[in-house]
Structure 1
Amino acid sequence: MSHPTLGPFEPRLVRQRKRRARASFRDASFLHERVCADLADRLEVIPRPFERVLALGGYGLFSEEVRARPELSARVASIFEADLDLVDPEFLPFAPGAFDLIVSPLALHWINDLPGALIQLRLALRPDGLLLASLFGGETLTELRLSLIEAEFELLGGAGPRVSPFADLQDIAGLLQRAGFALPAADRDVVAVRYAEPMRLLSDLRAMGETSALRERNPTNLSRRILARAFEVYHTRYADENKRVLATFEILTATGWSPHESQQKPLRPGSAKTRLADALNTKEQSAGEKPSDT
């Protein structure tokens, strides 16, 4: 199926990266494990059963996390696993209302049409169904991005895209609302990882299937000369006293509910039973009125 929406990513490359990562994923799954544990923590405080669950991404880690928690496992009956090497989130093959819960650990940042994918995820939920999705945010890999840019400007006089773009926190809740979710919310977790050398970071990104899959790739190959200079910059700017370099991962978590009449609604303007002035024990005055001295 062709993609009508052109975006920054080449879907074929995304699937290729994720397919290759299946064999090596467990060697660098620490971020996904952290995210799956966080998603499970959030579910544990929601006292309701989830009969049909879709886990989009994570190569089975979310299912493992649920099974390790007996109380939560008793409330989660069936988990359908779907990863980006098999399922295209922009063309989901699920019937409307198929799931009570959709979780997506670190997958949706690879979507060209994120608003459209969120709409499809909402439609795949039953009324009052829950979406919990974690994705990388805009501060992710800032150090690597800036080191590559500086090295290329120094050696070539210009720089092109090498690291994928990521969404910002302030965009996520708005995208959920635009997609029709009720009670949308988003929060962030910034994870600082230290590496003995930048090459180890690149190895982990390859193992996770998180290397660049940009549609418009840099016309200049990432030569050893550029990479070596980027690593020098990386060490100079981002190494600690033990000569270990910093890699930042910003993880955004989006929460939204499929609309249902039982959900809490915002109050209508003017429906409050207590005036704000009374609550603050002060005198009410119009916006154009000057305050008195008494």
Structure 2
Amino acid sequence: MTPVTLISSKPAPQPEDGPPVLFDRRLLARRRDRAASEFTAYDFLHARAADDLLDRVESVSRDFETCLVLGGGGAVGRALKDRPKAQQKITHLIETDLSPRMAGLSEQTAVCLDEEQLPIAPESVDLVLACLNLHWTNDLVGALIQINHALKPDGFFAGAILGGSTLTELRQCLKSVDDADPAPRRVSPFADTVDMAGLLSRSGFALPVSDVDRVKARYGNSFVLMRDLRAMGETNALIERPRTPATKSFFVKTAQAYSERFAEEDGKVPATFEIIHFAGWAPHPDQPKPKRPGSAKVRLADALGVTEHKSGDIAG
């Protein structure tokens, strides 16, 4: 087995001049610990993301000695059991999580570590998969850079995070409810639908790509939705979250607003989840290079079979 050196499993210290610290990572670890006991009954999003990540692995025409999985509560390992083609491509799978109990859900080799200070030796793994965990990092680009450093040259990385349209219905209803506490801070913010390919490029990855998977789940009411979010370990971990519990009336009003604004014909309410997928390669000299501007030997108009019009001409 390719050696993977664990340096530390403690949460990373935050630099004074670094990016804003939005999330309480220690609280996040505790809430994921709490969610672990029921997680596999509510991990439909993680299972979906894990299947998509393995699709990407299967599409690559090479094998991987060591695969490091960040997050997912064991979802990638569980999905791998039903994917013989992916199994053939991965020799050793190591699943990790910020939460010790969530890491313990893995049926593979499991490690508790902090992805904000990735304790993996440089150029020590062939494949890294991040399953719905990096949206909780305070410095996404910093985490991507560390992943890049952990990969061997020409190593492959594929990840999935929750994007900005996630829970848009719940956010709108929370914001509309008049309460003494600031409603918008009751749901952790997700990144807007950012150019993940651009972020990968900034982080040193080659050949970056990204796409979006939008999922609509349906619930009896918003109380059931919030129960599921707790069971997933996806509840508010903002540093500036309200410190006093919301009143019962606050949640009743939210449920009423949700039903009034979004209920479908059968009375159930939808919840949108946006999963942003992205992938890239650790640089290697033999990788394809983009052509320099002006080096094309075939005109685009000829390739498309259309008539080229000069600037200022009006096509008839």
% identity of equivalent residues: 45
Q: Partner of 2:204 in structure 1?
A: 180
Q: Partner of 2:279 in structure 1?
A: 255
Q: 1:136 to 1:292 in 2, by over 3 A?
A: closer
SS of residue in 1 equivalent to 2:195: helix
The worse-fitting range, judged by mean Cα deviation, of 185-194 and 39-48 is 39-48
User: What is the CA distance between 1:292 and its match in structure 2?
Assistant: 10
Q: Partner of 2:28 in structure 1?
A: 14
Aligned counterparts of 1:111 and 1:175: Cα–Cα separation in 2: 14
Q: 1:291 to 1:122 in 2, by over 3 A?
A: same
Alignment equivalent of 2:118, drawn from 74, 85, 92: 92
User: What is the CA distance between 1:281 and its match in structure 2?
Assistant: 6.8
SS of residue in 1 equivalent to 2:76: helix
Q: Partner of 1:232 in structure 2?
A: 256
How do 1:1-294 residues align onto structure 2 when only pairs under 5 Å count? 1-4=12-15, 5=18, 6-85=20-99, 86-151=112-177, 153=178, 155-156=179-180, 159-218=183-242, 221-276=245-300, 279=303, 291=313
Q: Is the 8 A contact 1:122 1:258 kept in 2?
A: yes
Residues paired across the two proteins, number: 288
Q: Is the 8 A contact 2:163 2:192 kept in 1?
A: yes
Q: 1:292 to 1:147 in 2, by over 3 A?
A: closer
Q: Is the 8 A contact 1:97 1:123 kept in 2?
A: yes
Paired amino acid for 1:144:
L
Q: Is the 8 A contact 1:35 1:105 kept in 2?
A: yes
SS of residue in 1 equivalent to 2:283: coil
Q: 1:79 to 1:144 in 2, by over 3 A?
A: same
Q: Is the 8 A contact 1:181 1:257 kept in 2?
A: yes
Any idea what the Cα deviations from partners look like across 1:116-156, whole Å, max 9, x if unmatched? Answer: 000000111111111110010000011111111111x3x44
SS of residue in 1 equivalent to 2:185: coil
SS of residue in 2 equivalent to 1:19: helix
Q: Is the 8 A contact 1:277 1:284 kept in 2?
A: no
SS of residue in 1 equivalent to 2:200: helix
The worse-fitting range, judged by mean Cα deviation, of 166-175 and 155-164 is 155-164
Any idea what the Cα deviations from partners look like across 1:2-27, whole Å, max 9, x if unmatched? Answer: 21243211111111111112111112
Aligned counterparts of 2:86 and 2:114: Cα–Cα separation in 1: 28
Listed as ranges, the gaps of 5+ residues in structure 1 are: none
Where does structure 1 differ by over 3 angstroms across 4 or more consecutive aligned residues?
A: 155-160, 275-285, 290-293
Q: 1:41 to 1:228 in 2, by over 3 A?
A: same
Any idea what the Cα deviations from partners look like across 1:139-181, whole Å, max 9, x if unmatched? Answer: 0011111111111x3x449644111111233331211111011
Aligned counterparts of 2:148 and 2:44: Cα–Cα separation in 1: 29
CA-based RMSD of the aligned residues comes to 2.1
